[in-house]
């Protein structure tokens, strides 16, 4: 195993708690139950969350809503208190 992958695996294991492990098991189990039953089933909370800190971009990428200026909300940056509050709410179940 390359050293890079070993480091990533050790970092993930160091952040693993019983609560996060239980949440990941619920998410994985719901995936397989939904696949077998062919019904949408969701147990558990998200394992990871990605937050875009800004809607301001000048690259104009054709596949990006920011580049196409297709947002319904105003262009700007995320408020610091909002991201801090989300980070604290998601910390018990998400890997940060």
- 10 Å Cβ neighbour count for 23? 19
Domain span including residue 25: 1-44
Backbone phi and psi for residue 73, each to the nearest 5 degrees, phi listed first: -95, 160
The mean predicted confidence, pLDDT, of the chain is: 82
**Are 65 and 37 found together in one domain?**
no
Q: How far apart are CA 77 and CA 53, in angstroms?
A: 6
Residues 62 and 86 in one domain: yes
Average pLDDT over residues 5-29: 88
Structurally, how many domains does the chain consist of? 2
Domain termination residue (choose one: 26, 44, 62): 44
33 confidence band (pLDDT: 50, 70, 90): very high
The pLDDT of residue 94 is above 90: no
pLDDT for position 66 = 72
- SS3 string, 4-61, reads HHHHHHHHHHHCCCHHHHHHHHHHHHHHHHHHHHCCCCCCCCCCCCCCCCECCCCCCC
* Better pLDDT: 88 or 21: 21
81 or 26, which is more confident: 26
């Amino acid at each position: 195993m390359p050293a890079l992958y070993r480091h990533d695996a050790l970092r993930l294991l160091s952040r693993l708690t019983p609560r996060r492990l239980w949440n990941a098991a619920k998410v994985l189990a719901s995936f397989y139950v939904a696949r077998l039953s062919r019904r949408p089933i969701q147990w558990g909370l998200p394992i990871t969350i990605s937050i875009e800190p800004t809607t301001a971009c000048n690259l104009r990428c054709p596949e990006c809503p920011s580049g196409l200026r297709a947002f319904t909300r105003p262009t700007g940056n995320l408020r610091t208190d909002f991201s801090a509050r989300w980070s604290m709410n998601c910390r018990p179940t998400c890997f940060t």
